[in-house]
Amino acid sequence: MTATQKRGVRVRFAPSPTGFLHVGSVRTALFNWIFAKQNSGKFILRIEDTDKERSKPEYEKNILESLKWLGLDWDEGPSPNGAQNNADDTQNNAEKSQRESASSRRKSAYIGDYGPYRQSERIKIYRNYIERLIGEGRAYRCFCSKEQLESDRQTMLAEGLPPKYGGRCRNIKKEDGEKRMKNGEACVIRFVVPETDVEFNDLVRGNVKFSGELMGDMIIAKSEDEPLYNFAATIDDELMEITHVIRAEEHLSNTPKQIFLQQALNFREIKYAHIPLILNPDRSKMSKRYLESSVNDYRSGGYLPEAMLNFLSLLGWHPKEEKEILGIDEIIKEFDIKRVQKAGAVFNIEKLNWINSQYIKKKTNTELAALLRIFLENKNIDAEDEFVAKVAGAEKERVKTIAELAEAAEFFFKLPDYGPELLTWKNRTAAETKNAINESLKMLDEIPEEKFAREEIGNALQQLIEKTGRGEVLWPIRAALSGQKASPDPLEIMGILGKKETERRLKIAMKKL
Ligand code: GLU
């Protein structure tokens, strides 16, 4: 159908709430979201929670919160009171959507302006379509037992045939099927898969062809009220007026199933883009450790949402120019779904770390302080904004994540315990070290408190450094102030800590010697 091109772009992200949102899924969400933004389209969030056992409200909550944190807002959904809106085939979509959006905003029970669509709330809708297919003889009840199916499978394999459902129940009359079901016989609902080929032009993979003949009639629902993924997704993609389905490559084999259903139900055509697998640096399939790390893990690990988006956008795509750091506006401008690669995309944590560090460096000290504060709170550290901002500024060039920043900055707030050996520079003796600290203290004491800043401190210590040696003076000071071997420049630390705290820490050091 050529009308597809003329429809306004509408895409969806359709996670199943069966676990915390992981980064592989976020890449899918992101590509959809970008595509919507580039085309002034709509990005729809649909929670595919028809699997009652595995779907959990806490996972849904996590999906919503993670998308919000990343700034991947969705554009519409039902109102917070749970009513369905514009994804109902009887409604005028645009008009209803506007009305709904206004009312949703008033009620702020939801995380976003809109609730997501939930398949569990749309069972009645799917039911209508199941009944329609059964009524038209395009779907039927199948009473085959597991054992029967397994033995059919074995027979086919023994005959060298690719296994598929052989259609034993296909000719059971509708009325007979209903009777047997009412009598309590266990059954599922199968869709009559046409024995023809299905072909589509994938935006990433080019022309793709599947044979219906090899597929066999597929189960679309366990019962009228228990639709399965391929069926519910097909119905929703039509009702939600989805124009482009952008999803992971592992769903490629679902696409012919969904196209057959669309054809049977006279639905509109959809364009597909199956985006590449995510691989380990050695090109093996992505290990759980990274891919299934949830967004939560990265968030609590101190990664910035903008760095995550930047990094994930480069998993399977890259801009025409050699560039690694791209803000979201740039990505929206340059992203091209047709240039997404077919080959697997390597997930390189070092690259994510590097990208994250670049974003950290670009932040102002005040911005960083706000982020740092959350991590400091977890360490029960509280301090004035100005102080936290200075600390963030001193450490920001040296860290890859905010968690690392908090780690590195901790000594500014609490002097860690350390042994006296840390204070001595090379093979200097304890007495020499103590003397150097004492001399430094005398010089520092000359600086009035309000002038106690890096430059002044440098000037005050200059003579002593020239006389005694740089390492001899500054090493013990660094150790005394930070309790560690590596830190920002000790002059800067003194400026941030202020005169009193500097002197206090230097005196503690002298006592250790
Ligand atoms: N619920 C499916 C999943 O989480 C969605 C697949 C699709 O995008 O059609 O993988």
Q: What pLDDT digit, counting tens, does each position of 159-184 carry?
A: 999 999 999 999 999 999 999 999 99
288 is catalytic: yes
Which ranges constitute the DSSP H helices of 107-241? 123-135, 146-158, 174-182, 229-239
The residue from 146, 209, 288, 426 that is catalytic is 288
Distance from residue 45's CA to the centre of ligand 1 (Å): 11
Residue 132: which of 196, 218, 226, 224 has the closest Cα?
Answer: 224
At residue 89, the pLDDT reads 42
Q: Residue 369's pLDDT band (boundaries 50, 70, 90)?
A: very high
Distance from residue 22's CA to the centre of ligand 1 (Å): 13
Q: Is 100 in the pocket of ligand 1 (CB under 6 A)?
A: no
Distance from residue 14's CA to the centre of ligand 1 (Å): 5
Asked whether the predicted pLDDT for residue 108 surpasses 60, the reply is: no
Mean pLDDT of 100-105: 41
Asked whether the predicted pLDDT for residue 28 surpasses 50, the reply is: yes
Phi-psi domain of 51 (left: phi exceeds 0; alpha: psi -120 through 50; beta: other): beta
Amino acid at 498: G
Q: Residue 113's pLDDT band (boundaries 50, 70, 90)?
A: low
Whole-number average pLDDT of the chain: 92
At residue 109, the pLDDT reads 34
At residue 78, the pLDDT reads 79
Q: Residue 281's pLDDT band (boundaries 50, 70, 90)?
A: confident
Number of the ligand 1 atom closest to the C-alpha atom of 28: 8
Asked whether the predicted pLDDT for residue 101 surpasses 50, the reply is: no
Q: Is 238 in the pocket of ligand 1 (CB under 6 A)?
A: no
- Ligand 1, atom 4: closest residue by C-alpha: 15
Write out pLDDT tens, residues 198-207.
999 999 999 9
Asked whether the predicted pLDDT for residue 67 surpasses 80, the reply is: yes
At residue 81, the pLDDT reads 52
- Ligand 1, atom 3: closest residue by C-alpha: 15
Which residues are CB-contacts of 464 (< 8 A; sequence separation ≥ 6)?
436, 439, 440, 443, 473
Number of the ligand 1 atom closest to the C-alpha atom of 245: 8
Number of the ligand 1 atom closest to the C-alpha atom of 250: 10
Q: Residue 103's pLDDT band (boundaries 50, 70, 90)?
A: very low
Number of the ligand 1 atom closest to the C-alpha atom of 254: 9
Domains, the chain = 288-362 (1.10.1160.10), 363-414 (1.10.8), 415-513 (1.10.10.350)
Mean pLDDT of 308-330: 97
At residue 88, the pLDDT reads 45
Of 100-104, 145-149, 150-154, 353-357, minimum mean pLDDT range: 100-104
Distance from residue 322's CA to the centre of ligand 1 (Å): 32
Asked whether the predicted pLDDT for residue 82 surpasses 70, the reply is: no
Report residue 144 CA to chain centroid gap: 41
Answer with the residue of higher pLDDT: 188 or 92.
Answer: 188
Q: Residue 284's pLDDT band (boundaries 50, 70, 90)?
A: confident
Q: Residue 79's pLDDT band (boundaries 50, 70, 90)?
A: low
Kindly list the distances between the CA atom of residue 285 and the CA atoms of 30, 252, 289, 294, in Å, as whole numbers in the listed order. Answer: 21, 17, 11, 17
Asked whether the predicted pLDDT for residue 125 surpasses 50, the reply is: yes
Number of the ligand 1 atom closest to the C-alpha atom of 15: 4
At residue 198, the pLDDT reads 97
At residue 285, the pLDDT reads 77
Mean pLDDT of 141-146: 98
- What pTM was estimated for this model as a whole? 0.90
Distance from residue 28's CA to the centre of ligand 1 (Å): 10
Residue 191 · residue 217 · CB < 8 Å: yes
Residue 248: which of 324, 327, 315 has the closest Cα?
Answer: 315
Q: Is 16 in the pocket of ligand 1 (CB under 6 A)?
A: yes
Q: Is 15 in the pocket of ligand 1 (CB under 6 A)?
A: yes
Query: What is the chain's Cα-based Rg?
Result: 31
Distance from residue 180's CA to the centre of ligand 1 (Å): 33
